[in-house]
Amino acid sequence: MSPKSQTIMPNLCDDVMLHLLTFIPNESALLFNCQLVCKLFKVNLQTRIKEKLWKKVEEIVGKEKCEGLRNNTLKDLYITAPDKRFVSVDVKCLAAMLKENTSVIKLGFDQRQKFDYNGAIQIAEILKMGSTLQELDLGSCQIGDDATLRICEVLKWNKTLKTLILTGSYWYIGAKYVAEMLKVNSCLEYLLLNENGIDDNEATLIASALKYNSTLKDLCLCVNNIGIKGMQSLARALKVNKSLENLDLGGQNDNSIVGNKGIEAFARTLKVNSTLKELNFWCSNISDAGVKAMALALKGNTSLEKLSLRYNNTGIKGAKALAQTLKVNNTLQEIDLYDNLIQNEGALAIGESLKINNTFKKIILGEEGNCDEKNINYISEHVKTYLINECQREGLVINLDW
């Protein structure tokens, strides 16, 4: 029996039975018997269809996970379909079975699966009826614009999903649909949107949505095409937004156009924002000027706990500025300066500040490759030994390797 016939058979069965029963006199004893037979036939047919659906689900997720679905004991369902496209029929069968499930809270599909519009319709149906579903991972499933629209329309009113992972999508205007969803969604807390080709205009749309959103806590926009304009729009939005706690903007595809102006925009924001706890600017071509602006802002900030500047061009002046901040800031707990240009002088300045700051928990220094004593940009083994022996204390981690 084809999936299409499985879908229409129950309704067709009802129509045929009702049509046949009209030929039997109402007072006839035969009518009662025929009605009973029709009911039994319908129940039998539905049972057979359901078993076929479960068999298909077992092919998709495996026997053990299928049993967990049937018994309402499975909580995390991550689906792989090696060497084939995960077609909409597969998702449709899965959606039919998840309609009766009350245990699954996490649903994910691996990156080999690509969803067309019909597949997205079924994902949307799962979100409609999956009252327990809290996390949906569609990472690298190459979701297109139409599929994104369908899913986002449902998420505007969904009250259970807290985590959505949409990475590596085939978008032209997909980010617009996500932004429209964020304006009205009141449940989503974690949103991963890296590697979607999001540009300045799309970042500005997302920034506008953040002004209205009051539930999102974590937003990842790394490895996109966001430049200075997009960064500035996001920074302005966080002057208004009171819910976002963690933001990752690292690794933009053209990091040369982000640089100091991008981090300087967020430095201005941190002078008034009191909710952001983690800010990630890894691989963003940031030099001393940008770091000095951030360090100055952090002297008065009481919310940021973690700052990542990994793989940038921070030098001695930037390191010294952060060291001065650490002497007065008691909120900041972790700084990542791995593979920068702070040299021995910058590392020692930070080390001395750590002797004063008793609340700081972790500093990450060091550089890629083996230490070369002749390279002045490298932190020498002598300085590393000093930092470990003289500056490290209980509750403080000085990481000099990674």
231-244 pLDDT, tens per residue?
Answer: 999 999 999 999 99
Query: What percent of the chain is modeled with pLDDT above 90?
Result: 57
- What pLDDT, on the 0 to 100 scale, is given for residue 50? 73
Three-state SS for 71-134 is CCCCCEEEECCCCCCCCHHHHHHHHHHHCCCCCCCEEEECCCCCCCHHHHHHHHHHHHHCCCCC
Q: Scanning the structure block, which residue is given the tokens 């230490």?
A: 371
Of residues 320 and 30, more confidently modeled = 320
- What pLDDT, on the 0 to 100 scale, is given for residue 58? 83
Query: What percent of the chain is modeled with pLDDT above 70?
Result: 81
pLDDT averaged over the chain? 85
Could you tell me the two tokens for 267? 């430095």
Of residues 101 and 182, more confidently modeled = 182
- What pLDDT, on the 0 to 100 scale, is given for residue 13? 54
Q: Average pLDDT for residues 255-269, to the nearest whole number?
A: 90
- Residue 351 — pLDDT band, cuts 50, 70, 90? very high
- What pLDDT, on the 0 to 100 scale, is given for residue 96? 76
- What pLDDT, on the 0 to 100 scale, is given for residue 378? 78
Say if residue 124's pLDDT is above 50: yes
Could you tell me the two tokens for 137? 């991972």
Could you tell me the CA-to-CA distances from 322 to 12, 95, 185, 285, 337 in Å, in that order?
72, 52, 38, 17, 10
Say if residue 216's pLDDT is above 90: yes
Candidate ranges 18-22, 118-122, 389-393; pick with highest mean pLDDT: 389-393
Of residues 338 and 12, more confidently modeled = 338
The per-residue b/e assignment along 215-242, b for 16 or more CB within 10 angstroms, e otherwise, is ebbbbbbbbbbbbbbbbbbbbbbbeebe
Q: Average pLDDT for residues 97-117, to the nearest whole number?
A: 78
Say if residue 162's pLDDT is above 80: yes
- What pLDDT, on the 0 to 100 scale, is given for residue 231? 96
Say if residue 375's pLDDT is above 90: no
Say if residue 324's pLDDT is above 90: yes
Among 66-70, 291-295, 377-381, the minimum mean pLDDT is found in 377-381
